Structure 1
Amino acid sequence: MSRVRTVLGDIRPEQLGVCDAHDHLFLSSPLLPGQELNDPAAARAELTAFRAAGGAAVVQWTPYGMGRRAADLPELSRATGVRLVCATGLHQAGHYDPDVLGRLRGAGLAGLFVSELTEGIGTTGVRAGLIKVAGGFHTLDAHARWTMAAAAEAHHATGAPIAVHLEQGTGAPDVLDLLCGELGVPGDRVILGHLNRFPDPVTQRQAAESGCWLAFDGPSRAHRATDWRMPQAVRALAEAGFGDRLLLGGDTVVAGARSVDGGPGMPYLLRRLRHRLAAELGADLVARILSEHPGRAFAVEWA
């Protein structure tokens, strides 16, 4: 039977509850100096605010080597009552020291992913529940192809879903050609993130036709059409018969974006976007997108 792998153990998909399907409690990168998400007290406060808004679960997409603080996640989950799912995987090369990437090339990346999915992350005892990788801007470079090949190998060994950061929302056709075409990953095991940042209805429709999950994640940043075009985009997908492939997330990546630090944060998904989407799609479909769909997207028949 399929289970969602949380940091406190495996649960049935229907137990996940109202879920932020793409977010970050902890994240650090040399590309975001001074903006790190690295404060456990702030993470706890953010989860508490999300819980108060009606949230029950968060999928943290922070991958290997980016300060995911896996050891802190179980206690945060217990203290707040919010179920947490942790990621393995690897982001774009720019987020890592070249020496780290060199060691990973020598050690075998797919083996690392499988180990973190099945045995645990280091000595924390926390097992990852998904694999996070990333594409480039309208393209896939050699690093992206290497990480996606390793992710596909780990998927075939474990069944774990693969969540993909689309840079500025672009590159979905290349990602799907590689993962689902060359590498044989079933479409329903792939989650495409940030499609809302590149509101091209043709690309979104083609991605949906592959059977993958479409994640609309994160409120608008400056000069982006995320919020005002997203409701119409998801309505068009639903009317085309793809309403059962949609996910929603907040994607909080810097400290200033947390609600407890003055930003929209995790509660924004339920405080604002849920109601705006309900006006376009109806409350029933939005409830399924928030509760039923994440359970299906992240469920695996774990060995």
Structure 2
Amino acid sequence: MSPAPTSPGGAVPARVRTVLGDVPPELLGVCDAHDHLFFGSPALPGQELRDASAARAELAAFREQGGGSVVQWTPYGLGRRAADLPLLSRDTGVHVVAATGLHQAVHYTPESLRELRGRLADVFVRELTSGIGTSGVRAGLVKVAGGFHALDAHARWTMTAAAEAHHATGAPIAVHLELGTAALDVLDLLCGALEVPPHRVILGHLNRSPDLVVQRQAAEAGAYLAFDGPSRANHATDWSMPDAVRALADAGFGHRLLLGADTTTAAARSVNGGPGMPYLLRRVRPRLALALGAELVERVFTQNPGRALAVEWRSTPTRPT
């Protein structure tokens, strides 16, 4: 792939790193900002997303509803199938962004985690700049995870490595918040001690803990707030999400909002009778339009993801002094 064009001043313009290469943020179209085409964890036996044909059908169904891009938050070691992503993207016409990173410890064997000790940040940087395994597919963000109302040693280790990868590349960091909690602890660590700019942090699953005060504090800090998971059957907070999103928009934080489906099981896919990715556009989008107005909802689906994911990618470490 040829280097990104530079501006007259020599700066590399911000681009979103997709599985088919870096693209201008405005090309993302309508974006599902948090989802999974492939996913598998020993902690969730029998719920794996492994079928490439089903993933293709789900992307095609999303495209039929007007979808233009999907951000897969599946990190290292959880069945990302990075080599399959470019063909799926080409076949369906949907941009796909892949992730590096590491989930909670429960999703890995102790042996696999020991193998990563001392080199986790290097793994993240390599997957962001050179590619995932031998696929040549470069990740476009780092995904890590917090715990329930706290950050354990594993979370601090992975977030420290994610911050190092950010400083080396500029990559955004997406954070799984366990049941929507510990958002402020995450920001204290990443944006305080580890000096990651808040606008490079995406906080996921905030809808699972509908605390409007914490959500507003996170937005005031400058992070992006992802409301995701309408495809999941085990989180009964969909009814409160429009009010939370409206409260944030009314407070002036409409530009910090992201929306995603977070499809994590085969049964949840639309091609298997579940809501899946299309539900985000078929039902969630018009419901939010009633609360926020169609114009703002369109910006949340199109402009906000581009701002959250677009990076002036670099390949040499730089840290604030």
TM-score band, normalised by shorter chain: over 0.9
Cα distance in 2 between the residues matched to 1:222 and 1:26: 18
2:172 aligned partner: 161
Q: Contact (CA 8 Å) 2:14, 2:24: kept in 1 or not?
A: yes
- The RMSD of aligned alpha carbons is 0.9
**Distance across 1 between alignment mates of 2:133 and 2:200:** 25
Q: Quote the sequence identity (%).
A: 75
Partner of 2:126: 115
* Aligned amino acid, residue 137 of structure 1: F
Cα displacement (A) at 1:241: 0.8
Alignment counterpart, residue 7 of structure 1, candidates 8, 19, 22:
19
Deviation at 1:227, TM superposition (A): 1.5
Match of 2:101 in 1: 89
| Matched AA of 1:79 | D
TM-score (norm 2): 0.93
- Post-superposition Cα deviations, 1:244-292, rounded to whole Å, max 9, x if no partner, equal 1000000001111111011110000000000000000000000000011
Shift of 1:225: 4.0
Residue in 1 aligned with 2:318? none
State how 1:169-184 maps to structure 2 within 5 Å. 169-184=180-195
Deviation at 1:226, TM superposition (A): 2.2
Q: How does 1:14-163 map to 2 (within 5 A)?
A: 14-106=26-118, 108-163=119-174
Residues 191-228 of structure 1: CA distance to partner in whole angstroms, max 9, x if unpaired? 00000000000110110011000000011755744211
Q: What is the correspondence of 1:244-259 to structure 2 with a 5 Å cutoff? A: 244-259=255-270
Distance 2:249 2:128 in 1: 33
Q: Could you tell me how far apart the structure 1 residues matched to 2:227 and 2:209 are?
A: 10
Contact 1:132 1:163 in 2 (8 A): yes
Query: Which 5+ residue runs of structure 2 have no aligned equivalent?
Result: 1-12, 315-321
Q: Distance in 2 between matches of 1:96 and 1:40?
A: 23
Q: Where does residue 290 of structure 1 map in the other structure?
A: 301
Q: Give, as a single letter, the amino acid of the residue that structure 1 aligns with 2:296.
A: L
Match runs of 1:182-193 below 5 Å: 182-193=193-204
Aligned 8 A contact 1:199 1:225 in 2: no
Q: CA deviation at 1:31?
A: 1.3
Instruction: Confirm or deny: 8 A CA contact 1:220 1:226 kept in the other structure.
Output: no
Unaligned runs of 5+ in 1: none
CA distance in 1, matches of 2:191, 2:216: 16
Query: What do residues 95-146 of structure 1 show as CA deviations (whole Å, max 9, x unaligned)?
Result: 001100000004x100000000001111101000000000000000000000
Letter in 1 for 2:97: V
Kept in 1: contact 2:231–2:275 (CA 8 A): no
Question: What is the TM-score normalised by the length of structure 1?
Answer: 0.98
Query: Which one-letter code corresponds to 1:194 in the other structure?
Result: H
In structure 1, C-alpha distance between the alignment counterparts of 2:194 and 2:290, rounded to whole Å: 39
The structure 1 segments of at least 4 consecutive aligned residues displaced by more than 3 Å after TM superposition are 220-225
Contact 2:231 2:262 in 1 (8 A): no
Q: Does 1:240 align with 2:282?
A: no
**Structure 1 partner of 2:223:** 212
